[in-house]
Amino acid sequence: MKANQILVEALEQAAAELESEADRLNYDWENLAACNCGVLAQKIMRFDQEGLSATLAEDKDFTEWSWSHSASAAYLNIRPSTGLPSSKVFAALCEVGLEKEDFESIEFLNYQDEYKDPVASFKVF
């Protein structure tokens, strides 16, 4: 992760909302727009859940995959040139410093065993 201020603020906002407002967010780990990565994408792209969901739904291939699977090297190398909606979402997320490995960490919260603070766990400072 190559964090910048936008990513740091988005991680802080997403973590705070996931911790305190999951019900209001209609959090759903199986929903690409309402899971961990989806909430972070909402913050970075300034979408609400419905807007992100509609954007991702335009790309039928993406909605059948997970964030971490879609962020594979092949996907990130091939998709940006397609101009599909999901490629624009990934471009925005990578522009603020996320890398392919980060999507799995965020999706599965696999940093949780080592750290108690989700923002600090990404070692962005």
Q: What is the pLDDT of residue 26?
A: 86
Domain residue spans of the chain: 5-115
Q: What is the pLDDT of residue 42?
A: 94
25-70: pLDDT as tens digits = 788 888 889 899 999 999 999 999 999 999 888 876 665 667 877 7
Determine the Cα–Cα distance for residues 112 and 121; give it in Å rounded to an integer: 8
Q: CA geometry: angle at 37 spanning 32 and 43, to 5°?
A: 105
Burial 9-19 (b: 16+ CB within 10 A, else e): ebbebbbebbe
Determine the Cα–Cα distance for residues 41 and 93; give it in Å rounded to an integer: 7
Model pTM score? 0.77
Stretch 78-106: mean pLDDT, rounded? Answer: 79
37 closest CA partner among 83, 85, 82, 101: 101
